[in-house]
Amino acid sequence: MSSNTNAFHNALTQLSRATAVKPFSEELLTLLSVPEREIKVSIPVTMDDGSLRVFEGYRVQYSSVRGPYKGGIRYHEQADADEVRALAFWMTMKTAVANIPMGGGKGGITVDPKKLSKGELERLSRGWVKALYPVLGPRADVPAPDVNTTPEIMGWMADEYEKLTGDKTGAAFTGKPIERGGSEGRAMATGLGGYYAFEAMQKYVRLPEAPRVIIQGMGNVGGHAAQIFHEHGAVIVGMSDSKGGILCDTGLNPAEVERYKQSHGSLAGFPGARPVTNAELLAAPADVLVPAALENQITEHNAHDIHAAVVLELANGPTTPEADDLLLARGIRVIPDILANAGGVIVSTFEWEQNLQGEHWSEARVYEKLQHMMQSEARNLWTRAEELGTDLRRAAFIIALERLESALAARIT
């Protein structure tokens, strides 16, 4: 079984573990066991040298029970239909936990975008839209950025969709550049939303005011999260990218680490810090461990090595169900991805609303609304977990399932 197949297996295992705590209707569970639609397309691209290459693209539309499909598009050489299916399922749960009027979807292209020129990348991105635009749209399916996709790519996609359909709202894609109808605050949204969720729960888990934090991953989410935690007084004792990490007991300045990486290509040799592997980074002592990379980082094989009091999941699916049990037995709280990293889809939904209404909100308004929603749902999650006598992940799934069941009942009646 591939790691990506494992991801979907893990997602359904999480679902069954939640329903063991509280039962739900057989109809709802049957609907959620498979996506509503899966599409695989071939995308022909003329390369800069004149040759033709054909790339595989995907869109999984998992559930529209609560609204249009919503979910990112990732460009990664290991992306496949199984991975995208798992991510689309998690997005279904995430939009319900966040209590936004969206369903769940996800897309992808099997490609290493670093090996393409800008022109090739644009032609590939527009090709994805040409292949899929009949099933996309503001009231049907609203894609957004994910791993290795940027505001510029979203801008190309939105432009291609407008050319093909004549739709001028811009609401078919989110995560666009500001000048193309993007929302203020979108770049920071996932990291900031994760911080707001943590802040709401900090008093419950009895962590110090200046917690010691380790962040795995220096992409858009991890990089911003490191800066946000640092600005709020946390001590960032560890950071990593895909090549490896660094630890510093006295604390790191994330901006300096980022500048060093940009100029040196890696974190190796960063002054005053000791180099570590990603495995060693995950096992280092801290108050808060923030996995912000890819799936399946904390498993039954390394869960006993985790020495953080709290795991704040900013990646999708970083902790396997087996690892959940091991962490729970050791008293380590996991703030689950379907709430912790929901800031991105919340602000994407704000962008969709602004586009449909012809408005442009200030950054302050976006952050105020994001903070209110994340902290309200975080407190709700903590209370629900205490009422049910279960962990935060099962409680989050139960909240999502309750909202999905209500929406399904309303749709039927």
Determine which of 78-82, 171-175, 310-314, 381-385 has the lowest per-residue pLDDT on average.
Answer: 78-82
**Among candidates 351, 356, 324, 352, which has minimal Cα distance to 338?**
324
- In degrees rounded to 5, what are phi and psi of residue 277? -75, 170
pLDDT, the chain, mean: 95
Q: Which class does domain 3-14+24-169 fall in?
A: alpha beta
Sequence ranges of the domains in the chain: 3-14+24-169, 189-340
CA 44/CA 51 separation, integer angstroms: 10
The angle subtended at Cα 277 by Cα 272 and Cα 283, nearest 5°, is 95
Helical residues (DSSP H) of 176-253, grouped into ranges: 189-205, 220-231
Give the count of beta carbons closer than 10 Å to the beta carbon of residue 311. 26
How many CB atoms neighbour CB 159 within 10 A?
Answer: 18
**How confident is the model over 84-109, as pLDDT tens digits?**
999 999 999 999 999 999 999 999 99
Asked whether the beta carbons of 132 and 41 are under 8 A apart, the reply is yes
**Pairing status of strand 104-110 against strand 141-145:** unpaired
DSSP string, 143-180: EEE-TT--HHHHHHHHHHHHHHH---S-TT--S--GGG
Mean pLDDT across 391-408: 97
Question: What is the CATH code of the structural domain delimited by 189-340?
Answer: 3.40.50.720
Domains 3-14+24-169 and 189-340 share a fold: yes
Would you call 321 helix, strand, or coil by DSSP? helix
Mean pLDDT for the stretch of residues 32-42? 96
Q: CA 122 from chain center: how many Å? A: 23
**For residue 83, what pLDDT band results from cuts at 50, 70 and 90?**
confident
Q: What is the pTM of this model?
A: 0.93
Summarize pLDDT for 159-196 with one digit per residue, the tens.
999 999 999 999 999 999 999 999 999 999 999 999 99
CB of 327 within 8 A of CB of 38? no
Report which of 399, 401, 318 is spatially closest to residue 32, judged by C-alpha positions: 401
pLDDT of residue 412: 63
CA angle 287, 302, 322 (to 5 degrees): 100
Is 118 labeled as catalytic in the residue annotation?
Answer: no
Q: Evaluate whether 396 touches 97 at the Cβ level (below 8 Å).
A: yes
The catalytic position among 40, 70, 94, 106 is 106
Render pLDDT for 244-299 as a digit per residue (tens, 0 to 9).
999 999 999 999 999 999 999 999 999 999 999 999 999 999 999 999 988 889 99
Cα separation, 268 vs 94, whole angstroms: 36
